[in-house]
Structure 1
Amino acid sequence: MVIAKKVETEKEYEDAIVIRRKVFVEEQDVPLHLELDEYDAEAIHFVAYDGDIPFGAGRIRSTEPAIGKVERVCILPEYRGKSLGNLMMECMEDYAFSNGFQKLKLNAQSHAIPFYEKRNYTITSPEFLEAGIPHRAMDKSLT
């Protein structure tokens, strides 16, 4: 069974970190000290599983009252193209809405902008580099 869920155990947190390392550090060459940052301690983490196999991760942190920032959303390469990014985002957005967030912000890698636009995120910035990768800021109202 394929599921996405809020991290509730140390093992689930470790699984999410393994996925982030594989995607961002190993695949995209993001330095480990940038990928695993000071916000991990305060963020709400999410992980996706295919049975017992973790394949996706993400986190949300509160940046302002009623505003959350979606970060570190990733899916292992062998699971991409199967709408599992949508499963991950639905889980995170449902959590945010249920917990009183009125808006979500994110910094999308430029190649992923069409994915987020299909989920009703709007571009709010010119392109910029983050960890050497082109990004654009986006946001979405949850109200």
Structure 2
Amino acid sequence: MYNVKIVETIKEHDDAFAVRKKVFVEEQGVPLHLECDAEDASATHFIMYEDTEPVGAARLRGIESDTAKIERVCILQTQRGKRLGALIMQEMEKHAISTNNKKLKLHAQSYAVPFYEKLGYTVTSPEFMDAGIPHRAMEKNI
């Protein structure tokens, strides 16, 4: 059974960062100093478990009075294709609504644009590079 929750303990924090490191640093080659940045301190972090095993992570942070930005969405390679990305996004959107946000923004890796479009996000920028990976800005009114 899969469960998504807001990170509250040191163990959950460590689990979320372990998933992020595995996906972004080890798998995609993002330098650790870019993956773990100053925004981590103020962001709300999410962790996804399959029973007790961490399998996904993401973070959400306020960027304007009624707008939050979704970042660092990742699912372990062995768990992809099970709609877990949609599950973690759904939980982050619920939290964003509960904290009075009206809009969500994100920078999607270009290959993932169709995934986010299925969730109601719209592309708002031309392609740009971030950490050596092509991205597109996207947003959604909630």
User: Which TM bucket (shorter chain)?
Assistant: over 0.9
The gaps in structure 1 that reach 5 residues or longer are none
Q: Distance in 2 between matches of 1:23 and 1:141?
A: 28
Tell me how far 1:64 sits from its aligned partner. Answer: 0.7
Whole-angstrom distance in 2 between the partners of 1:14 and 1:101? 27
Question: Which residue of 1 is the match for residue 40 of structure 2?
Answer: 40
Matches within 5 A, 1:1-143: 1-142=1-142
Per-residue CA shift, 1:29-85, capped at 9, x if unaligned? 000000000000000000000000000000001111110000000000010000000
Structure 2 residue runs of 5 or longer lacking an equivalent are none
TM norm structure 1: 0.98
- CA drift of 1:10 comes to 1.1
Q: Which stretches of structure 1, 4 residues or more, deviate above 2 A after TM superposition? A: none
Inter-partner Cα distance in structure 2 for 1:13 and 1:92: 16
Deviations 1:81-120 (A, max 9, x none): 0000011101111100111111000000000000000000
User: What amino acid sits opposite 1:12 in the alignment?
Assistant: E
- State the SS of the aligned residue for 2:25: helix
Aligned residues: 142
Percent of residue pairs bearing the same amino acid type: 58
Q: How far apart in 1 are the matches of 2:85 and 2:22?
A: 16
User: How far is 1:7 from its partner?
Assistant: 0.8
Give the TM-score taking structure 2 as reference length: 0.99
Q: CA RMSD in A?
A: 0.5
